Structure 1
Amino acid sequence: MSSILNNLSAIGASRQLSISGNQLGQVIERLTTGKRINKASDDAAGLAIANKLGADIKVAGQAQRNTNDGVSYMQVADGTLDSVTQLLTRAAQLAQQAQTGTISDSNRANLDAEFQNIVKTMINIGHNTNFNGQAIFTSVPQTLTVAAGDYGILNLDMQVLSPDAVTALGITTSNNLLTIGGAGTVAGLLTTALASVSTMRASIGASEQQLNATSDVLGIQVQNFTAAMSQIQDANIADEVVNLTKFQILQQSGTSALSKSNQNAQQVLALLQ
């Protein structure tokens, strides 16, 4: 039926042109942002999953940084105890020398002066060695948290060094090398102290290996979470380029069809002549 009130073909062409225009705009938006989902209406379920994966990535990434900080903490502790081992070794050498009867009391006093400096240095190390403002050698157990919430990331609570390093060594400024007997007592304490430090360093080494393994696992999780989110959220550029060409052609053909539909209405005038 021909009508001058309602040009149904033009209405249909206009509607299809609007649809292809919206689809073209969506394709351009995806190519511009690189994302398949730019708003909830693009894919509501996909957006919810992508948001959850995005949170997983952030939490796992922070957990990995916490773990790496823990490794650095351990490395500072181990390096410090290496210095303590050298000090204890020198002190043991002085104690051994002070036990011999071939040196005078004045010589022992000189040996004791160096020994007392070593003890004071170890006490200073024990009280003032810090990492990011946190004391390393303390009687309070240190807890390292590498995950939180329900994100499925490995949880690791670990005591770094529970005993105070200096107190545990059992050497104070009251010990001295002024006598053969005193030097013998110190020598025994130093043997125990060296064994204690070796045990501490072994514990630190084991904990550091555990942290490195945990960091590797967290890195794998970050990679997998990112890959999963990319599959859902990222635009397939090859497909979008194809769609861009398709909708550009539809826009052009739709515009042409709408023009033709408007011309058809003019034919009604021929009936009035």
Structure 2
Amino acid sequence: MKIHNQSAIAFSVTRYQRNETKMEKTLDKLASGLNIHKASDNASGLAVSETLRAQVRGLSQAQRNMQDGLSMLQAANDGLNNVNGLLQRARELAVMNANETMTDADRQASQLELEQLMAGINDTAHKMEFNTKKILGDNAPLVLMVGANPGQQITLDLMDTSTKALDLENLSVLTSSDASGLISQLDQAILKTADNLTVVGSYYEAIEHHMTNALVKEANLTSSLSKLADTDVAKEMMQFVSLEIRQKSDQILVSKVNQNTADVLNILTK
């Protein structure tokens, strides 16, 4: 007499265990939000996703680099504007002292102010810094990484705005002749400072273009990475519900068979 179908029970138990394994994977994906939670999920997909992730993170850092560059250029712009203001005042003094109506005492006072103006220019050149790097007292190039890969960079040529670089040393307005000659010197210094401001503006615009490009590229790569590595929550939830229904069905089947077996054995023992 056959009272227990072992093959049916074995099939149900095997399917139950297989479904349980699948449910664990589905729960891992739902909990982590990652479609590729570990290498065994999709080995080749993991390699591609990590490459994309490196590019996305590199582009994100490049944007922070460029933001630092823009901040530095803004500081340089403010410094150059300050130098330009000092030069404009110095030119006023030169024009004023080129006039023969000035007394010696007036010229001495103007000379003192002129020296203070030149000291202010040197103070800006030597003390204007960004993250401890001098930006107006040195003409060394500054390299900015604007991308995630080697070679994706731009070079900013910093400028020197000291009185030595502007050819404004040992100035005098103590005579009308000195003051008259100083006007041309100051005109050249003002022109050079204006050129430096133009360079700063062009660098600023170039970096902004690179930032826009990096932002667009990062968004596209992030979208691709999301499609590859992120969990499709709706799909995984449907998978989970389907597996749960199958698992419940196998539980009921095994439970029912065992109950029938127990009932038969109970009858036979009476």
TM-score by length of 2: 0.91
CA distance in 1, matches of 2:77, 2:212: 21
Counterpart for residue 259 of structure 1: 255
Whether the 8 Å contact between 2:121 and 2:161 is mirrored in structure 1 is no
- Higher RCO, 1 or 2 (CA under 8 Å, sep at least 6)? 1
Given residue 171 of structure 1, which amino acid in structure 2 is its aligned partner? L
Candidates 197, 207, 217, aligned match of 2:203: 207
1:1-50 Cα deviation digits (max 9, x unpaired): 9697x922211111100111111222222222222121111111211111
Unaligned runs of 5+ in 2: none
Residue 133 (str. 1) matches residue 129 (str. 2): no
User: Cα RMSD between the aligned structures?
Assistant: 2.4
Aligned AA for 1:41? S
How far did 1:182 drift? 1.2
Q: 2: distance between equivalents of 1:158 and 1:166?
A: 25
Quote the residue 2:143 is aligned against: 143
Query: Do 1:7 and 1:261's aligned partners in 2 also have CA atoms closer than 8 Å?
Result: no
Give matches, 1:90-169, under 5 Å: 90-137=89-136, 138-147=138-147, 149=149, 155-163=152-160, 165-169=162-166
Partner of 1:59: 58
Worse-superposed segment, 67-76 or 235-244: 235-244
Pair 1:26-2:25 in alignment: yes
CA distance in 1, matches of 2:164, 2:196: 13
- The answer to whether 1:237 aligns with 2:233 is yes
Deviation at 1:91, TM superposition (A): 0.4
In the TM superposition, what is the alpha-carbon distance from 1:163 to its structure 2 partner? 4.2
Q: Counterparts of 1:139 and 1:236 in 2: how far apart (Å)? A: 53
**Distance in 2 separating the partners of 1:33 and 1:159:** 43
Identify which range, 199-208 or 254-263, moves more after superposition. 254-263
2:74 aligns with 75
Which position in structure 2 is the counterpart of 1:39?
38
In 2: Cα distance, 1:17 partner to 1:243 partner: 15
In structure 2, what is the equivalent of residue 193 of structure 1?
189
Runs (5+) with no aligned partner, structure 1:
none
Take 1:260 and 1:199, find their aligned partners in 2: how far apart are those partners?
91
**CA distance in structure 2 between the partners assigned to 1:156 and 1:35 by the alignment:** 33
**Residue 50 in 1 paired to residue 49 in 2?**
yes
Shift of residue 248, structure 1, vs aligned partner:
1.1
C-alpha distance in 1, partners of 2:131/2:125? 16
- Asked whether the equivalents of residues 129 and 136 of structure 1 are also in contact (C-alpha less than 8 Å), the reply is yes
SS of 1:159's equivalent in the other structure is strand
SS of 2:207's partner is: helix
Distance 1:164 1:122, change over 3 A: closer
Give the share of equivalent positions with the same residue, in percent.
27
Q: Which residue of 2 aligns with 1:171?
A: 168
Distance of 1:48 and 1:82 partners within structure 2 = 51
